[in-house]
Amino acid sequence: MKKILSFDIDQTLNIAKTPIPDEIAQLLINCLDYFEICPISGQKFDQFLIQIVNPMLKNGVTTEQLTHLHLFVAQGTQYYRYTSTQPNEHPTPSATTATKSSDNPSYDEQCWHKVYDFPFSDKQVSEISHALETAAKELGYWEVDKLKEGDKIIENRHTLVAYSALGQKAETEAKYAWDPDHKKREKIVKRAKEIAPNYSYSIGGTTTIDVVPEGVDKSFGMTHLMEELNVEKSNILYFGDMTQPGGNDYPVVEMGIETISVRSHEDTAYALRGILGVLDKKS
Ligand SMILES: [Mg+2]
């Protein structure tokens, strides 16, 4: 019996780095009535709010439903959940969005509670940044001239270091065109791994490489998810677009968790409509 639907974000629920479409928001809201919903990705907490929570609020999610949404941030090295009764005493990192939602007046962003957190040391961050920058420069892929103002290629996300070849703010089209066959990123990873071997590098999204200490990938997040939600592998159904060896969803497949490989959010919507169709008939 599946209790958990868990999702990669970029390319699985959305077009990379953009808010989930209304259709996906609506399907996820409907799923919250039957399952615990657990997005897990290399993104920061703020991006989870912008890409997932805000579109769900716009589509009418209730605060009760939000208590069944579990955010596994930065590959699950941080875990946040919404508690409508216990406002967070330690406010979460400030988000770029309003703290109240006009779409749901009872929603309060301060009610996101950080359950756990495994931060990086400064030394680890500088080792990884050095390896990525050196590798990209050697290979001629250091695209610093293409960055928008205030944007950067390497970002310290506290529990994960993310390399985004064209920065966070690049146009979607440019991102899709940059490395469609992953070859550039595979070369960067190979070289960076020689410079800083004690880390695990995974290719995700369109221009991204996520770096965490060896052993910290989505399987780390999934293991903690099972512990926190008190479920077995067999209770989880996972959706991801990078389920091939080397992809950032592959560690979940390797764990033996049942996985649906999707090409895009359209495939995910198709699968969710099927799941909900069966459940709606039963109830
Ligand atoms: Mg993805």
Distance in Å, CA 280 to ligand 1 centroid: 28
The SS3 of residue 137 is: helix
Distance in Å, CA 250 to ligand 1 centroid: 11
Q: What band does 97 get if pLDDT is binned at 50, 70 and 90?
A: very low
Segment 212-241 shows an average pLDDT of 94
Identify the pLDDT of residue 85.
63
Distance in Å, CA 219 to ligand 1 centroid: 15
Record the pTM.
0.77
Identify the pLDDT of residue 100.
66
Flag whether pLDDT at 14 surpasses 80.
yes
According to CATH, what is the number of the domain 4-118+216-282? 3.40.50.1000
Contacts of 55 (CB under 8 A, 6+ apart): 19, 20, 21, 22, 24, 25
Segment 63-75 shows an average pLDDT of 95
Distance in Å, CA 86 to ligand 1 centroid: 32
Identify the pLDDT of residue 202.
87
More confident of the two residues 57 and 122: 57
Distance in Å, CA 228 to ligand 1 centroid: 23
Q: How far apart are CA 99 and CA 112, in angstroms?
A: 11
Segment 49-72 shows an average pLDDT of 97
Q: Which CATH architecture has domain 122-213?
A: 2-Layer Sandwich (3.30)
Identify the pLDDT of residue 212.
85
Identify the pLDDT of residue 256.
98
Distance in Å, CA 208 to ligand 1 centroid: 10
Report the DSSP pairing between strands 258-261 and 154-156: unpaired
Q: Where in the chain is the domain with CATH 3.30.1240.20?
A: 122-213
- Mean pLDDT of all residues belonging to the chain: 91
Q: How far apart are CA 21 and CA 192, in angstroms?
A: 35
Distance in Å, CA 281 to ligand 1 centroid: 31
pLDDT in tens, 228-282: 999 999 999 999 999 999 888 999 999 999 999 999 999 999 999 999 999 988 7
Q: Is 14 within 8 Å of 265 (Cβ atoms)?
A: yes
Distance in Å, CA 210 to ligand 1 centroid: 11
Segment 92-114 shows an average pLDDT of 73
Q: What band does 52 get if pLDDT is binned at 50, 70 and 90?
A: very high
Q: Where in the chain is the domain with CATH 3.40.50.1000?
A: 4-118+216-282
Contacts of 6 (CB under 8 A, 6+ apart): 37, 38, 39, 40, 72, 222, 225, 236, 237, 238, 239, 252, 257
Identify the pLDDT of residue 246.
82
pLDDT in tens, 135-169: 999 999 999 999 999 999 999 987 789 999 999 88
More confident of the two residues 91 and 178: 178
